[in-house]
Amino acid sequence: MKSALLFLFLLCQSAQLAWASHIAGGNVELVATGKPGQYRLSLNLYIDEASKGPEAIIDPQIYLSIFRQRDNKLMGDFPLKFLRKILLVYANPACARSKGLETSEVKYQGLVQLDAAQYADQAGYYIVWEKCCRNKNVTNIDRPDQAGMIYYLAFPALQRNGGAFRNSSPVFLTPNPEYICRDKDFTLPFQATDADGDELRYSLVTPYRDNIYTPFGFKNSYKDPDFPLLRWQSGYSAQQAITGKPALSISPDGVLRVKPDKLGLFAFAVLCEEYRNGVKIGEVRRDHQILVVDCSPQVPPKPTITAVSPTGASPVAICVGSDITLTSENAADFNYQWRRDGYNLPGENKPTIRTTLAGDYTVIKSFATVCTRDSVSEPFRVTYKPNDPARITAADTVICVDRPATLQANARPDFRYQWYQDGKPLPGETKDRLVSPRGGKYRLEILNTTNGCLSADSINLVKSPLTSVSVVAALAGPLCAGGQLTVRLPQSLTGISYSWQLNGSPLSTTSVTTRADKPGAYLVTVSDTACSVKSALAQVNARPVPLIDSISPICGASAPTLTLQANPAGGVFSGTGITGGRLNPGLIGAGRHTVMYSVTNTAGCRADTTRTFTVVDVPQPDLGADMTIVVGSRVNLGGPPGAGLTYAWTPLSGLTSATAVSITAQPAQTTTYKLTVSRNGVCPLTDEVVLTVLPGLFIPTAFSPNGDSLNDSWEFRGIESFPGCAVRVFNRWGEVIFASDDYQHPWDGRRDGQLIPSGVYHYVVKPTPYLAEERGTLVVMY
C-alpha cells in the first residue's frame, strides 16, 4: 500500500489534494478477541458524501502499520478489509439537506495475531494509518489541502512481569453527524468505552499531519515516523479549535461543548488516554470536523415528552425487558429526532418512540421545510425497577445417562416460577429448582410479586450421545484370552477417551481396543468432556492348553499306522497323512512333518498346538549268502550307500573298519558278521553273513608211486576238512587221466589199473563248491 501511494502521488500530483478531502475524521481500534494473541483491528472513517469526488474510491483493502515506540522499528503491515458503510442520521434533516450535508461511516476490519514475546518492549507500540489530504475548505488549519491525516493508536507491551498483559484499546462511540449554529450553545457526546474498565481521560489536542506529502515531493514516513503537528491558522489552537464563548472544550466525561462565534469548517482532535491503576498504558486519537453555519433565529416551540404507556412523569421506572412509549406533541410541520444519552437513534424520527432501554431521552424538534434553529426537549429519564433478574445456573449443561441436569434459579420469597421446555410450559414445575433427564431449550420465567416485573433466562441442555457401552471381541466370537477386545458404542463419536480395567485393576491401555492377554473380568469406562459410562463386566475365558503326546521317529513309509494322543481329549488332529486321529506313514514321505491339534473348551475358546515328527527312511542292508573260505582268505562286504546313514559292523575281529559302508573281512575262524544301518542311531536295520573258515589244504606238487612206501600216493594234507573236494588230473594232451568228486582216498598214480608214465601233469582241484579252483603241475617220478 505504501509503495502504491508513492506511485500514485508521482503520477497524479495535480489530483493529490483531493484524495482525502471527503474524509471528515476517523480513529483506530484494537480489541482483544479472547483468543491468546488475537485482536480485532479496525479503522473507522467518517465520509463527507457531499464533497467527495469521483476519485474518492472505497478501497477493498487497506494496510495499517505497527511500530515500536522505543526506536520506531516497523513491526509489520496488517491488511484490513472493507467491512461496511452506513449513512448517519442528522437531527435536523431539513437543514442538513439545505446545507448539502450527508455523512457516512466506513469501517475496515481484520483479525491480527500478535505474539506476546515479540511485543514485549515495555515502552509500548503504536499503530498508524496515513492519508493525504484534507478538505481545502477547512477554516482553522494552515493550507489544509497540503496537510494529510494520521489516525494513531498507542498500546502497551503484551507481556508484563513475565506474564501476558491483556488489554483492549478505548473504543469511541459513533458520533452524531451535526452542524453548529453560530452563537448557539452546542453539545456533542464524544465518549469512548473500555472493555477492561480502565480509566479514560479526554483532552483536545492538535491533530497530526501526515508524512506522506510535502509541496515539493514525497517523503517516506516510515523512515522518520515522528509525526509533525498541523499548523493552525492565526487565532486557533488545540484549545481554540472552534472559537467562541465558550470555545470548544471537552468535559471529563467526554462531552464536547461550544458556542461558536465564527462560521466555517473546523477540524480538531480528541485524545482519549487509557489509565490502569493510575498509570497510563495507551491512547487513541479521533480526528473530526464540524461545520458552523448561520441559522435562522426562528426556533420551533420547545417539545415536551410524556410517558403514555406506562404513564408518569420523568423519571419512570420500567421492568427490564418491558417497554415504555414516550411521545411529544404531534405536528405535521415539524421533524423529530429522538436521542438517548445524547446520541441520535437511527430511524426514530416520529413524535412517538417505543423503547425497552433505560437512559436519558430527548427529542429534537425542527421545521420540516425551513432550515432554522432547532429546539430540544428536557431529558426524560427512563430507569429500570430494582429487580433480581432471572438467572439459571447449572453445574453442567450436558445430560449423562446416569446424571440428569439440575437447573437452579435465584431464589427469593417474592418470586413465582414457571419452567418451560422447547417453548412449552412444564406442568407442576413451579419451584426454583428443576431436575431433568431430557435435552432441549429450557426457559425460566420469574414474576417478582413485589414490583410486578417478569424476567426470564434460558439455557440449552444437550443429552450426551454416550448412552451405552459394551465390550465385545474385536473378531466375532466368544471372549477368549489372547484375543482383542473392542468397545461398541451406539454411534460413531469423537473426542472420546477410554480407561480399561481387569479384575478391578487399571490397565495401561487408553485406546478403543485392548489385548486380553489374561482371563478375567474386563471393564471399560468411556468418557467425553462431560460424561462417563461404564460397560458391564466382560468375562474373558481362559483358552485350553493342548499338548500332543510325543511321537517317536517313524521308521519308513511301511511303518504301521499310528494312533495320535493329546490332552485335553476331544480335539481334532490335522496334517498330511492324518485321518481321524490316525497317522498313516505310507501317505507321507521321509522327512520332518508337523501335526496340528485343535481343541475348543466349553466356553467356545479354541487353542491350537503342533508337534513335529520325523519319518526316517533307512535302506535294508543285504550282505548276501553265507560264504566258506579258506583260512587267510579275504572277503569284501558292503552296506547300502546313502547320505546321513551310519554303519556298525560286529564283531570287530578280522574287519578293516567298524563304521565304513564297505569293509574287508579276513576271519581266522568261522564268524557270523552283522551290519546295522541307521540314521544317527534311529531306525536301525541289520543283516548277517556267515563266513565259514576252512583250514588250509596242502596239495603236493610231486609223488613217486614206486612201492617203496615213501610218497607212493598223491596225498593232500588237510583233505579231511574238504569233503566233496573235486580233483582232475590231465596229461599233456589235456586228457583226464584221473578224476574224483570226493578226494578222500589219495591217488596212487594208476590209470585203469596201470601206473602212468613218469612226467609232468596238470591238475585242477576244487576244494568245495564255494571255494575257487586251484590249478598247478604235478610231477610223477619213479
Residue 631 sits at the vertex; the CA angle it makes with 628 and 634, to the nearest 5 degrees, is: 75
Q: In the beta sheet, which residues pair with residue 363? A: 338
Asked, for residue 53, whether it belongs to a domain, the answer is: yes
pLDDT of 98 reads: 80
Q: What is the DSSP string of 542-583?
A: PPP--EEPP-PPEESTTSPPEE--EESSS-EEESTTEETTEE
Cβ neighbours, 10 Å, residue 67: 18
CA separation for the pair 267, 48 (Å, rounded): 13
Residue type, 209: R
The dihedrals phi and psi of 145, each to the nearest 5 degrees, come to: -70, -5
Q: How far apart are CA 707 and CA 750, in angstroms?
A: 12
> Is the distance from CB of 611 to CB of 551 less than 8 angstroms?
yes
Q: What is the spatial distance between Cα 622 and Cα 72, in angstroms, rounded to a whole number?
A: 112
Tell me the average pLDDT of the chain: 90
CB atoms within 10 A of CB 229: 13
Residues 714, 779: Cα–Cα separation, whole Å: 10
Specify the 3-state DSSP secondary structure of 101.
Answer: coil
Is position 613 within any domain? no
Task: Please indicate, yes or no, if residue 618 is contained in any of the structural domains.
Answer: no
Per-residue confidence (pLDDT) for residue 8, from 0 to 100:
32
Instruction: Give the mean pLDDT of 104-129.
Output: 96
* Rounded percentage of the chain residues whose pLDDT exceeds 70: 95
In the predicted structure, residue 10 carries a pLDDT above the cut 70: no
Assess contact for 473 and 479: CB atoms under 8 A: yes
Q: All 3 cell numbers of residue 627?
A: 560264504
At 328-348, the pLDDT tens digits run 998 888 999 999 999 999 889
Rounded CA separation 272/255 (Å): 12
Q: What is the mean pLDDT of residues 304-318?
A: 93
Three-state secondary structure string covering 230-251 = CCECCCCCHHHCCCECCCCEEC
Question: Are residues 485 and 354 part of one domain?
Answer: no
| Same domain (yes/no): 142, 176 | yes
Q: Is there a single domain that holds both residue 77 and residue 162?
A: yes
Residues forming a β-bridge with 382: 316, 359
571: Cβ contacts below 8 Å, ≥ 6 apart: 546, 597, 598, 599, 600
CA distance 204 to 189: 14
Q: How far apart, in whole angstroms, are the C-alpha atoms of residue 197 and residue 220?
A: 37
Encoded amino acid at 730, one letter: F
Residue 493 sits in the same domain as residue 523: yes
What is the C-alpha to C-alpha distance for residues 148 and 221, in angstroms, rounded to an integer?
Answer: 12
Residues 654 and 567 in one domain: no
* φ and ψ of 689, to 5 deg: -140, 135
**C-alpha to C-alpha distance for 612 and 595, rounded to whole angstroms:** 6
- 385-421: pLDDT as tens digits: 998 899 999 999 999 998 999 999 999 999 999 999 9
For residue 243, pLDDT beyond 90: yes
Q: Please state, as a whole number, how many other Cβ atoms lie within 10 Å of the Cβ of residue 395.
A: 9
Q: What is the pLDDT of residue 455?
A: 93
**How many domains does the chain contain in total?**
7
In a domain, 76, yes or no: yes
| Per-residue model confidence (pLDDT) at position 115 | 95
* 21: confidence class by pLDDT, cuts 50, 70, 90: low
Q: Given the DSSP bridges, would you call strands 255-258 and 249-250 parallel, antiparallel or unpaired?
A: antiparallel
508, 524, 540: which is the final residue of a domain?
A: 540
For residue 297, cis peptide bond before it (omega within 30 degrees of 0): no
Taking 3-state DSSP, the helix, strand and coil percentages for the chain, each rounded to the nearest 5, stand at: 5, 50, 50
Residue 546 has pLDDT above 50, yes or no: yes
pLDDT value of residue 90: 86
Residues 332 and 436 in one domain: no
Residues 59 and 155 both lie in one domain: yes
Q: How confident is the model at residue 18 (pLDDT cuts 50, 70, 90)?
A: very low
Residues 348 and 396 in one domain: no
Q: Tell me the pLDDT tens digit for each residue of 147-189.
A: 888 999 999 999 998 899 999 999 999 998 989 999 999 999 9
Q: How far is CA 381 from the centre of its chain?
A: 58
CA 607/CA 590 separation, integer angstroms: 29
197 and 263: one domain?
Answer: yes
Residue 600 C-alpha cell reads as: 475348543
Higher-scoring residue by pLDDT: 18, 582? 582
Helix (H) or strand (E) holding 656: none
User: What are the tens digits of pLDDT across the range 183-233?
Assistant: 999 999 999 999 999 999 999 999 998 765 443 333 334 445 567 899 999
When pLDDT is cut at 50, 70 and 90, the band that residue 89 belongs to is: confident
- Three-state secondary-structure class, residue 708: coil
* 588, 612 contact by CB (below 8 A): no
DSSP, res 669: S
The confidence score (pLDDT) of residue 5 equals: 32
**pLDDT tens-digit profile of 499-523?**
999 999 999 999 999 999 999 999 9
Same domain assignment for residues 443 and 484: no
User: Quick one: how far is CA 187 from the chain centroid?
Assistant: 60
Highest mean pLDDT among 134-138, 516-520, 627-631: 516-520
How far, in Å, are 427, 609, 777 from residue 413 at the CA level?
21, 78, 158
Residues 634 and 528 placed together within one structural domain of the fold: no
Nearest-angstrom CA–CA distance, 534 and 403: 13
pLDDT at 720: 86
Distance from C-alpha of 578 to C-alpha of 585, rounded to nearest angstrom: 9
Q: Which of 489, 505, 540 is the last residue of a domain?
A: 540
Question: Does some domain include residue 223?
Answer: yes
Taking the C-alpha atoms of residue 724 and residue 737, their distance in angstroms, rounded to an integer, is 19
**Range 337-372 burial, b when 16+ CB lie within 10 A, else e:** bbbbebbbbeebbebebebeebbbbbbbbbbeeebb
pLDDT class of 55 with cuts at 50, 70, 90: low
Per residue in 688-747, pLDDT tens? Answer: 999 988 888 889 999 999 988 899 999 998 888 888 999 999 999 999 999 999 998 999
Check residue 96 and give its pLDDT. Answer: 84
Host domain of residue 328: 306-384
What is the Cβ-side half-sphere exposure of residue 700, based on CA atoms within 13 angstroms?
A: 14
Among 399, 420, 386, 240, smallest CA distance to 317 is for: 386
- Residue 572 inside a domain? The answer is yes
SS3 readout for 428-452: CCCCCEEEECCCEEEEEEEEECCCC
The string of pLDDT tens digits covering residues 358-382 is: 999 999 999 988 888 889 999 999 9
Examine residue 144 and state whether it is found in any structural domain, yes or no.
Answer: yes
| Mean pLDDT in residue range 552-569 | 91
Task: Quote the CA–CA distance of 240 and 247 in Å, as a whole number.
Answer: 6
- Whether 616 is covered by a domain: the verdict is no
Residues 161 and 179 in one domain: yes
Average pLDDT in the 229-254 region? 96
User: Do 264 and 292 contact (CB within 8 A), yes or no?
Assistant: yes
Q: What is the largest CA-CA distance in the chain?
A: 204
Is residue 1 scored above 90 in pLDDT? no
Of 263, 293, 323, which marks where a domain is finished? Answer: 293
Which residues are paired to 420 by β-bridges? 425, 443
To which H or E segment does residue 770 belong? Answer: none
Task: Return the pLDDT at 2.
Answer: 35
- For residue 508, the domain's CATH number is 2.60.40.10
- For the record, the C-alpha cell of 48 comes out as 463527507
Query: ∠ CA 190-305-355 to the nearest 5 degrees?
Result: 65
